[in-house]
Chain A
């Protein structure tokens, strides 16, 4: 927290939110038509929620590495809850669900806290993958067995396993010459992820004409994607001084984050559309559920983590 660069990044976020709040306030005063009012109201509740989310994230980082681990454990729990609420399961899955929430999710984050990289990487994809269906089979309900097992495993992979790679940036990376600064790298990663979401939304709302996959989400357009990616990559490269990367390397990593983030949003939209819902939940005003907010982050985190680990980390 005594890192001047991290404080500078945080001050930048606060400045950005102040500007956004002022724009939202002006827009709410100048909007007359009913259709636009809805958009402006939603925009303002989104901005209010951003303040809360930024404050929670900042506080978690301020309490140290464990704060980030606990925060993401809580986020994973909420996201998994939303995912499994909308996913049909049967009575025979009950014990497996209990384990997923109260044993597997906490364990994955405890592995992070105790710095056990090997087990962190294989716990859910190997052990849970094999043991959960054994438990469900023992319960004796064969109806749609593979479908049910696959859905629970998939939920755990996205909401818990992938999401846990964000706090893994803090605890599991050992970058020579960047010791003690990993919290700043997590802040940078989350900032780029969320900026990418926001900028894709802004470019899509203002210039969006051609949807990328109209059957999945009419709101995700080529204009939003291209504008959002270019703007985010430029900002991400400009913030290279907060990272262990050169400006060009930062730009490359930002391309990976933004494209995966877009893909994550698209995949989760396809599931929502299939289930016939607009949002995963109602936990965050204006945004929908927790999973609506972190879908892009879940897809980007493991890839960012492994790229950085492979090219920069000493372990």
Chain B
């Protein structure tokens, strides 16, 4: 109920439109990985999914940010059902990959920002290795590149007040980790898949 209401409000504020260019909405287990420039990225991508998918899709988010203050904590756990991970000092016992694998289980999907933080450039920066490790451990997952556009204008890094411009989320064709594909090659291929979506045409 709160989740649906929040999703509707996010869709109104950002006017977000989902363009399914390389795949269709589907309940199979996926990792949606996207470029990251605004605090609104995870909530908006989540809100842009059809309701049935949204219920089974959890954003992966930084624990330090989303547990600061009661409102954020409430939003993260009760509204977005986020997987909160330690990004600053991961240890063997507090490992983000284990948290994500546990959250995936056998029916959930994840929203992941592989840059590991918010950046202001037009294209995503080099990816951290989390996406590679997930693909290695769970080769059955579909990895969907998602280009988020205009959210850095709606709520740029360092701003508190939004400008209600219209955002979009473009979903590309699924990627898979090739057998024996080296880590850096795979990560750069995944990053290029997001960049290429900026120039993609509607199906």
Contact = CB atoms under 8 A, between A and B. Distances in A.
A197 to B, nearest CB: 24
Interface string B156-186: 1001011111100000000000000000000
B153 interface: yes
Contacts of B159: 94
B163 A97 contact: yes
7 tightest Cβ-Cβ pairs between the two chains A and B: A97-B163, A85-B166, A85-B165, A98-B161, A98-B163, A91-B156, A101-B164
Given A81-B15, A94-B159, A282-B17, A89 B153 contact: yes
A303 to B, nearest CB: 30
A46 to B, nearest CB: 20
A85 B154 CA distance: 10
Interface in B88-134: 120
Interface string A71-89: 0000001000110110001
Given A81-B15, A85-B150, A282-B17, A94 B156 contact: yes
Given A85-B165, A95-B161, 16 more contacts: A81-B15, A81-B165, A82-B166, A84-B163, A84-B165, A85-B150, A85-B166, A97-B153, A97-B163, A98-B162, A100-B163, A101-B163, A101-B164, A102-B161, A281-B166, A282-B17
A139 B163 CA distance: 16
Contacts of B156: 91, 94
Interface string A95-121: 101101110000000000000000000
Interface residues of A, number: 16
A212 to B, nearest CB: 29
Contacts of A101: 163-164
Nearest to A101: B164
A221 B22 CA distance: 38
Contacts of B163: 84, 94, 97-98, 100-101
Contact of B153 (A77, A94, A282): A94
Contact of B165 (A95, A97, A102, A282): A97
A81 B166 contact: yes
A88 to B, nearest CB: 9
Contacts of A84: 163, 165
A102 B164 CA distance: 9
Nearest to B162: A98
Contacts of A89: 153
A6 B163 CA distance: 39
Given A91-B156, A94-B153, A94-B159, A81 B120 contact: no
A304 B1 CA distance: 48
Contacts of A95: 161
A95 B159 CA distance: 9
Interface in B1-49: 15, 17
Interface in A274-298: 281-282
12 contacts: A77-B164, A81-B164, A81-B166, A82-B166, A85-B165, A91-B156, A94-B153, A94-B159, A95-B161, A97-B153, A97-B163, A98-B163
A281 B17 CA distance: 11
A103 to B, nearest CB: 11
A85 B151 CA distance: 11
Nearest to B158: A91
Which of A85, A91, A100, A282 has the most chain B CB atoms closer than 10 A to its own CB? A85
A100 B161 CA distance: 12
A89 B152 CA distance: 11
Contacts of A100: 163
Contacts of B164: 77, 81, 101
Contacts of A282: 17
Contacts of B166: 81-82, 85, 281
B122 to A, nearest CB: 11
A93 to B, nearest CB: 8
Nearest to B149: A85
Nearest to B150: A85
A84 B166 CA distance: 9
Nearest to B152: A91
A101 B155 CA distance: 14
B58 to A, nearest CB: 29
Interface in A222-258: none
B101 to A, nearest CB: 37
